[in-house]
């Protein structure tokens, strides 16, 4: 399954972060993503952040999808 | 919830579906590798939204399902070993090996603990210094670095009673084996999002280059998967198969280099036995440091392996067959009385077909009845 | 007196009597209990019905204290709610305790006081009981079995086989709160959440619904197995199909967050203060508005309908307009993550 979910970092102490998912909080290890900062969203898998969510890329994806839709409508 | 809700938006989904319908002309076979994708596809009924030109196949990306009985038997034998606490993700608990399961071993006195993280397993090891805590290391590249991190931490802290039995597997070699066999025609592949968060998108480059197969790395929300399908249709209709990423918010082409470094530090590639597929060289991860290797720390003798008679999980994992081709599906094999692992793992193809219905619930008979019938017998 | 439960507390001798006198009698104080007979006796004169409802349930929740409740609250509410699902007015409860040697008496006191409050809230009396003590390790701190009797008002006929095509399906509020509240306390899954158990006695809510209309056909509290399992049971018992709307089912952010994290579907998570009602279509609005006026039904909504097609099956219309089967829970609910 490789279940990983976007969780927001609310605090960092050493390599341990506290993350928030809809008000649920737990600790998450940042050893795999030491670049993560407070306020970042990370993909959390089994208590480890495996990737920092790139907000610009997320926006870009939305733009690409909307462009796909707009192109279709223009036809 | 941010980065979840947007990708379940019905308007975006509708837009992508319209795009796919307009662009899809050729008959294409698309495979989702990952069991998590299979679950999303069924949970949101995505197959119902796709044009008849697109045929969706479910691949072998369920770590529990592809674990060979011989490996399961070793894990179960460890759980029965005196002095051992076996720590595992919940996924593995019910999976039957040759003659038993972890659930059964626990009922018979084995100390099996369900953990959410290897961090919890390490905690168990610290709290129980007089016992060996063995973590059942199962999963693809997504999970392997978290296990690697726990081994490095144990080494650093000198937690010598922490052990791992590694049945980890890696995805590019199995994709090559699957595609290279020529057994199944696949035009496009929806690549696993969280495996790719670690390995990046580059390891899939051989698929378009050598086999003409289009690739799109996808996240796990319905909009993610529809975007990947749209990208695959666009690539393939244009005759330009390549590796696209439909999950750019989580996946970079180079992957997570720190995580890859930890895998490399802790594990060495080795052969792995895949259920239904066989032994694939360099598709497994063996622990480099024998101090943490449960297989070397304990003399495990699980006894001879047995495969369940009539079960076609192997064929289903290779996408050669679907659960509907199986004589046992629903009649004998149900989530309560699973014959093979594809029924017991909640993301296994058989379990997904069973729980959510294969092509929309209007298509077939009620599924609750046979299960109760079997229970009464 | 020692501050933990001893095996002698279950001996039947003086220590047993002390335990009953100190903890149970003052908390549950009522005339029937005060008689201290082996059986509580009561007359039914004055009750507005001639049928009794009778139910029993055992409670073994771990941990015994959890956000929003405890095993005692659960033991009273669970039995009250089981009676209420038959349309009965709950009257009397029994409570049998299995105590593990070494249980702090302060914990017992806390549980007993919680049962007192729940019983008061529900308007029922705990009129008879029993206590046993077992060796350390032979029980997990404290198990409670409650049984209850209630009277079914004349003209009320509620049962799982009464659902008919066209009926509306009403859910009294958000799902999954109890299960997630308990799960957040489990070893190995350490997370903290704002979710508290929804555990509550629903007999008042049911009375209000029945006052609004007698065309309430089925009532069920979706406890273990969650909403999905309850709806499947009704579909099978009534031999009807059920279709529900994903977007109509309320789930709190905390429950959603925990479910996303653990790979759970809120449809399968336990509730202890929610009611599913199947109501004749023409009565739905009246019943719904009676629920909105009650503290335990403020978020009630119509989540689907009963149909003749696909008897025995529950189908969900997803947010994307597609449909899929909603199966029963199978086996133990386990996090699926790797």
Q: Quick check: A45 and C337 CB within 8 A? A: yes
pLDDT digits over B13-30, tens only?
Answer: 999 999 999 999 999 999
The pLDDT of residue A74 is: 64
Q: How confident is the model at residue C223 (pLDDT cuts 50, 70, 90)?
A: very high
Judge contact between B56 and B44, C-beta under 8 A: no
- Tell me the average pLDDT across C6-34: 91
pLDDT digits over B126-142, tens only?
Answer: 999 999 999 999 999 99
Residue B371 has pLDDT above 80, yes or no: no
Q: How confident is the model at residue B363 (pLDDT cuts 50, 70, 90)?
A: very low
**C200 and C317 assigned to the same domain:** yes
Question: Which residues of chain A neighbour B252 with C-beta distances below 8 Å?
Answer: 54
CATH code for the domain in which residue C144 is found? 3.30.1330.10
Give the lowest-confidence range in B37-51, B205-219, B309-323, C182-196.
C182-196
User: Which of C137, C262, C265, C320 to mutate against chain B (most B CBs within 10 Å)?
Assistant: C320
**C113 and C228 assigned to the same domain:** no
Residue A10 has pLDDT above 60, yes or no: yes
Q: Has residue C125 been placed in a domain?
A: yes
The gap between the terminal CA atoms of chain C, to the nearest Å, is: 51
In this complex, which of B14, B45, B90 lies closest to C324 when CB atoms are compared? B45
**C252 and C105 assigned to the same domain:** no
- SS3 for B130-181 is CCEEEEEECCCCCCHHHHHHHHHHHHHHCCCCEEEEECCECHHHHHHHHHHC
- Using the 8-state DSSP alphabet, how is residue C104 labeled? B
List, in sequence order, every residue forming a beta bridge with A63; answer none if it has no partner.
none
**C179 and C306 assigned to the same domain:** yes
- Tell me the average pLDDT across B216-230: 97
pLDDT digits over C238-293, tens only?
Answer: 999 999 999 999 999 999 999 999 989 999 999 999 999 999 999 999 999 999 99
Each domain of chain B, given as residue ranges in start order, spans 1-308, 313-376
The pLDDT of residue C11 is: 86
**C11 and C143 assigned to the same domain:** yes
**C135 and C20 assigned to the same domain:** yes
Give the lowest-confidence range in B32-36, C46-50, C136-140.
C46-50
Min Cα distance C219 → chain B (Å) is: 22
Which domains, ranges and CATH numbers included, belong to chain A? 5-74 (2.30.30.140)
Q: Quick check: C337 and A46 CB within 8 A? A: yes
| Chain B nearest-CA residue for A29 | B119
Distance in angstroms (rounded) separating the CA atoms of residues A70 and A60: 15
| Chain A nearest-CA residue for B254 | A51
Query: Into how many domains does chain C fold?
Result: 2
Question: Which residues of chain C neighbour B357 with C-beta distances below 8 Å?
Answer: 324-325
Q: How confident is the model at residue A73 (pLDDT cuts 50, 70, 90)?
A: low
Residue-range definition of the domain harbouring residue C212: 168-325
pLDDT digits over B72-82, tens only?
Answer: 999 999 999 99
Question: Which residues of chain C neighbour A24 with C-beta distances below 8 Å?
Answer: 184, 191-195, 254, 257-258, 261
Judge contact between C188 and B135, C-beta under 8 A: no
The pLDDT of residue C294 is: 97
Residue B366 has pLDDT above 50, yes or no: no
pLDDT digits over C159-217, tens only?
Answer: 999 999 999 999 999 999 999 999 988 866 778 889 999 999 999 999 999 999 999 99
pLDDT digits over B306-351, tens only?
Answer: 888 899 999 999 999 999 999 999 999 998 888 888 998 888 999 9
Residue B375 has pLDDT above 60, yes or no: no
Judge contact between C163 and C68, C-beta under 8 A: no
Residue B35 has pLDDT above 50, yes or no: yes
Segment 268-327 of chain B within 8 Å of chain A by CB: none
Question: Which residues of chain B neighbour C189 with C-beta distances below 8 Å?
Answer: 116
Partners for C (CB, 8 Å, 3+ pairs)?
Answer: A, B
B1-308 CATH: 3.40.50.11750
Q: How confident is the model at residue A71 (pLDDT cuts 50, 70, 90)?
A: confident
**C88 and C173 assigned to the same domain:** no
The gap between the terminal CA atoms of chain A, to the nearest Å, is: 39
- Tell me the average pLDDT across B82-101: 92
**C177 and C321 assigned to the same domain:** yes
Quickly count: other Cβ atoms within 10 Å of residue B78's Cβ.
Answer: 26
The pLDDT of residue B361 is: 52
The pLDDT of residue B368 is: 35
pLDDT digits over A52-62, tens only?
Answer: 999 999 999 99
Phi, psi (degrees; rounded to nearest 5) at B67: -75, 125
**C198 and C92 assigned to the same domain:** no
The pLDDT of residue C190 is: 72
| Chain B nearest-CA residue for A23 | B1
Min Cα distance C268 → chain A (Å) is: 18
In this complex, which of C192, C193, C261 lies closest to A5 when CB atoms are compared? C261
Residues of A with CB under 8 A from a CB of C: 1-3, 5, 7, 20-27, 44-46
Residue whose C-alpha is closest to residue C267's, from C283, C249, C245: C249
Partners for A (CB, 8 Å, 3+ pairs)?
Answer: B, C
pLDDT digits over B279-295, tens only?
Answer: 999 999 999 999 999 99
Min Cα distance A23 → chain C (Å) is: 5
Q: How confident is the model at residue C49 (pLDDT cuts 50, 70, 90)?
A: confident
CATH code for the domain in which residue C300 is found? 3.90.650.10
In this complex, which of B139, B227, B346 lies closest to A65 when CB atoms are compared? B227
Q: Model ipTM?
A: 0.95
Residue B124 has pLDDT above 60, yes or no: yes
Q: Contacts for C29-36 with beta carbons within 8 Å, 24 or more apart?
A: C30/C125, C30/C126, C30/C127, C32/C92, C32/C125, C32/C127, C32/C128, C33/C125, C33/C126, C33/C127, C33/C128, C33/C129
Q: Has residue C59 been placed in a domain?
A: yes
């Amino acid at each position: 399954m490789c279940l990983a979910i976007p969780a927001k970092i609310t605090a960092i102490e050493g390599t341990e972060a506290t993350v928030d998912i809809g008000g649920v909080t737990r600790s998450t290890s940042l050893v795999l993503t030491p670049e993560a900062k407070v306020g970042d969203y990370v993909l959390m898998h089994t208590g480890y952040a495996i990737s920092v969510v790139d907000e610009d890329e997320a926006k870009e994806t939305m733009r690409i999808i909307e462009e796909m839709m707009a192109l279709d409508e223009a036809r | 919830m941010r980065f979840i809700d947007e990708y379940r938006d019905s308007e975006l989904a509708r837009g992508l579906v319209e795009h796919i319908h307009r662009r899809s002309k050729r008959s294409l076979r698309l495979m989702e590798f990952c069991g998590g994708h299979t679950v999303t596809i069924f949970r949101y009924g995505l197959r119902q939204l796709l044009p008849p030109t697109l045929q969706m196949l479910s691949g072998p990306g369920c770590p529990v399902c592809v674990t060979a009985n011989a490996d399961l038997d070793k894990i179960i034998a460890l759980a029965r070993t005196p002095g051992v606490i076996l720590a595992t993700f919940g996924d593995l608990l019910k999976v039957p090996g040759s003659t038993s399961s972890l659930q059964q071993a626990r009922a018979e006195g084995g100390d099996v603990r369900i953990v959410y993280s290897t961090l919890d397993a390490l905690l168990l090891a610290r709290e129980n210094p007089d016992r060996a805590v063995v973590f059942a290391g199962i999963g693809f590249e997504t999970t392997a670095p978290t296990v690697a991190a726990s081994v490095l931490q144990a080494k650093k802290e000198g937690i010598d009673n922490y052990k791992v039995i590694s049945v980890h597997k890696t995805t590019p070699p199995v994709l090559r084996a699957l595609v290279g066999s020529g057994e199944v025609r696949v035009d496009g592949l929806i690549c696993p999002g969280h495996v790719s968060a670690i390995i990046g998108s580059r390891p899939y480059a051989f698929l378009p280059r050598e086999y003409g197969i289009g690739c799109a790395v996808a996240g796990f929300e319905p909009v993610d998967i529809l975007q990947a399908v749209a990208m695959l249709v666009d690539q393939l209709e244009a005759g330009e198969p390549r590796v696209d990423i439909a999950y750019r918010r989580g996946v970079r082409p180079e992957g997570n280099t720190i995580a890859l470094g930890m895998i490399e530090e802790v594990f060495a590639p080795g052969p792995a036995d895949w259920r239904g597929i066989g032994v694939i060289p360099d598709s497994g991860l063996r622990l480099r440091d024998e101090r943490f290797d449960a297989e070397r720390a304990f003399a495990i003798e699980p006894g001879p392996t047995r495969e369940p008679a009539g079960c076609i999980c192997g064929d289903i994992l290779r996408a050669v067959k679907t659960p509907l081709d199986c004589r046992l599906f629903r009649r004998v094999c149900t989530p309560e009385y699973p014959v093979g692992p594809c029924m017991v793992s909640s993301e296994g193809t058989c379990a997904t077909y069973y729980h959510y219905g294969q092509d929309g619930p209007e298509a077939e008979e009620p599924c609750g009845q046979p299960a109760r019938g079997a229970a009464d017998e | 007196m020692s501050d933990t439960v001893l095996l002698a507390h279950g001996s039947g001798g003086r220590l047993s009597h002390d335990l009953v006198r100190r903890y149970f009698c003052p908390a549950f104080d009522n005339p029937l209990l005060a008689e201290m007979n082996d059986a509580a006796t009561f007359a039914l004169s004055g009750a507005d019905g001639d049928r009794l409802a009778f139910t029993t349930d055992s409670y073994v929740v771990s941990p015994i204290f959890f956000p929003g409740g405890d095993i005692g609250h659960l033991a009273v509410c669970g039995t009250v709610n089981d009676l209420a699902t038959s349309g009965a007015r709950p009257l009397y409860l029994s409570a049998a305790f299995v105590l593990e040697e070494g249980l702090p008496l302060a914990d017992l006191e806390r549980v007993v006081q919680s049962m007192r409050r729940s019983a008061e809230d529900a308007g029922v009396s705990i009129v008879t009981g029993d206590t046993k003590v077992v060796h350390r390790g032979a029980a997990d701190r404290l198990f409670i079995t409650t049984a209850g009797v209630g009277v079914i008002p004349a003209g009320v006929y509620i049962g799982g086989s009464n659902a008919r095509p066209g009926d509306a399906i009403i859910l009294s509020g958000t799902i999954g709160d109890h299960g997630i509240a308990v799960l957040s306390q489990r070893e190995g899954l350490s997370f903290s959440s704002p979710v508290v158990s929804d555990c509550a006695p629903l007999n008042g809510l049911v009375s209000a619904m029945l006052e609004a209309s007698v065309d309430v056909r089925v009532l069920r509290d979706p406890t273990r197995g969650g909403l999905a399992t309850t709806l499947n049971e009704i579909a099978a018992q009534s031999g009807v199909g059920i279709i529900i709307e994903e977007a109509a089912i309320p789930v709190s952010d905390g429950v959603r967050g925990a479910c996303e994290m653990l790979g759970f579907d809120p449809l399968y998570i336990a509730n202890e203060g929610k009611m599913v009602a199947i109501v004749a279509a023409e009565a739905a609005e009246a019943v719904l508005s009676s629920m909105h006026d009650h503290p335990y039904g403020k978020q009630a909504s119509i989540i689907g309908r009963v149909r003749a097609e696909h008897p025995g099956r529950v189908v969900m219309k997803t947010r994307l307009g597609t449909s899929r089967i909603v199966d029963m829970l199978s086996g133990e609910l386990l996090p699926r993550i790797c």
